Amino acid sequence: MSSQLALESRIGSTQSLSKIFRAQEMIASAHIAKAREAAFNAKPYSDTISETMVNLVSHVHGVDHPIFRKEKNNNHIAVFAITADRGMAGAYTSNIIRQTENLLARLDDQGKIPQLYVFGRRGVSHYQYRSRGMEKSWEGNSDHPSVEVARGISSALLDAYMRPKEEGGVSELYIVYTEFINLVSQKVRVLRMLPIELVHGDSVPESLVSSVNLDPQRSSVNPLYTFEPTADAVLDTVLPRYVMGRIYECLLTSAASETASRQNAMHAATENAGKLIKDLTRRLNAARQAQITQELTEIISSADALKKNKK
C-alpha cells in the first residue's frame, strides 16, 4: 500500500512539473519570434559599423588612438560574460561560464590579469557563490535587453578601457556571448572587441573571434577618407557608437539564444516527464494487480480453510 501511495505521489508531482514545463515552453515559443527578429534586425547595423571601423582604422596613419593601440605595460584585461537571469534554459548559462573560465585561464597563463564583468543573475550568483571578484555586474531582463541597459554596460566597459593603467584601466576588452544561429543551434563566441586589429578571417581560431576581420579582396577597393576636424576627433566620436552597437547586438542575439534554449529544454523536459509518468503508471498498475492477486489468494485460502473446518 505504501508503495502505491509513493507511486501516486510521484505521478502527481511529475504531472505538476509537466504542466510547468509545458507552460514555459509555450511562453518561450511566443517570445522567440520577436527575439529572433530583434537579433536579426540589429546585426546589419552592427556589421556596418564594424566595417566602418575597419575602413577608418585601415586609413589612419600616424595617429596614436586607443581604438587600435594596446598599452604594452598594461596587463589588465576586461572580460564581459553575458548569462541568463532565469534558469530552465538547459546548458545555456553553463556553456557561457565554461567558455568564460577557459578564457580566464588562458589569460592567466599569458601573465595577464583579467577583470570580470557579468550580465545575468545566474552568472552573478555563480561567481558570488565561488567568491570570485567581479568589477561590475548587471541583472534583469536578460531575455528582453533594452537600449538603456546596453548603454550603461557599454559606458562602463568603455570607461574601463579608456582609463590609464594607474587608474585601473584595461588594455583589452573581450565579450563572451551566445550567437543565435537558428532555433536548434546556438554557439558560444568569444569576441575581442578592443583594440581593433585587422586580421584575415582564415587566421582567426574558431574559439576566438577577432573584433574585426578584414577581407583582402575588399581592402583594395576601400575608399580613402579625409578626417575633419581631425582623425582623433572622428575616432573619439565613432568609438562609443561602435562599442554600444556591438554590445547591444551581442545582448540581443544572446537573448534570442536564451529563449530558444529554454524552448528546446522545456520541450525535452515535457517529453521526459510524459515518459516518466507512463513508466510510473505501469508500475502503479502492476502494484495494484499484485495487491489484488494477493487479496484474492488470501480470500480463497480462507474459504478453503473454513471448508476443511466444517468437515
Per the domain annotation, does 191 fall within a domain? yes
Per the domain annotation, does 59 fall within a domain? yes
Distance CA 83, CA 177 (A): 8
Q: By residue range, what is the domain housing residue 106?
A: 25-264
Per the domain annotation, does 7 fall within a domain? no
Q: What ranges in 114-230 are assigned the alpha helix state H? A: 121-129, 147-162, 216-219
Residues near 157 by Cβ (< 8 Å), separated by ≥ 6?
Answer: 78, 80, 117, 173, 243, 247
Would you write out the chain's pLDDT as a tens digit for each of its 311 residues?
558 888 888 888 989 988 998 998 888 888 888 888 988 888 888 888 888 777 777 777 666 777 777 677 888 999 999 999 988 888 999 999 999 999 999 999 999 999 999 999 999 999 999 988 899 999 988 888 989 999 999 999 999 998 888 888 898 999 999 999 888 889 999 988 888 865 544 444 444 444 444 444 444 445 566 777 777 787 778 888 889 999 999 999 999 999 999 999 998 999 999 999 999 999 888 888 888 888 888 788 877 777 777 66
Number of domains making up the chain: 1
- CATH number, residue 232: 3.40.1380.10
Per the domain annotation, does 111 fall within a domain? yes
- Strand, helix or coil for residue 120: coil
Distance CA 86, CA 195 (A): 32
Distance CA 201, CA 210 (A): 8
* pTM of the shown model: 0.80
**pLDDT tens sequence across 263-280:** 999 989 999 999 999 999
Per the domain annotation, does 269 fall within a domain? no
Per the domain annotation, does 129 fall within a domain? yes
How high is the pLDDT of residue 293? 87
